[in-house]
Amino acid sequence: MLLMKHNDTGKLIRHVIAYNIRSLRIESGQSQAKFSEMVGINRSYMNQIEHGTKNMSIDKLMRIADGLDVPITRLFAGLEDCAPHKLPADSIYALVKLPEIEE
């Protein structure tokens, strides 16, 4: 579960995507350096993506999904039941259930 302040909607979405990318990359047995080289993304930039601190273009998301051999929608897993932008104004936190990743 991921608990974040309600007013950090973009940050929440970036962190869910980051969690999914990192988990899938690790599950595939690839180092960050090897993976970033394979998909043509600078390793430093990939590190920022995996920590949820960098906004990603659709182009980069497609390259990452292709490199992980998953549909791009898999990168958004965990957001299906979460609409943090629709939470009541007095709501302080958004709770997102992150997908289970096999180890």
Per-position pLDDT tens, the chain of length 103: 555 554 567 777 888 899 999 999 999 999 999 999 999 999 999 999 999 999 889 999 999 999 999 999 999 888 776 655 555 454 444 455 555 655 4
Provide the sign of the torsion angle of the four alpha carbons 84, 80, 41, 63, taken in this order: negative
CATH number of 9-76, picked from 3.40.50.300, 1.10.3720.10, 1.10.260.40, 3.30.300.30: 1.10.260.40
Q: What is the C-alpha separation between 24 and 6, in angstroms, rounded? A: 26
Q: What is the C-alpha separation between 93 and 8, in angstroms, rounded? A: 9
Q: What is the C-alpha separation between 26 and 41, in angstroms, rounded? A: 17
Cβ 12 vs Cβ 95: under 8 Å: no
pTM: 0.75
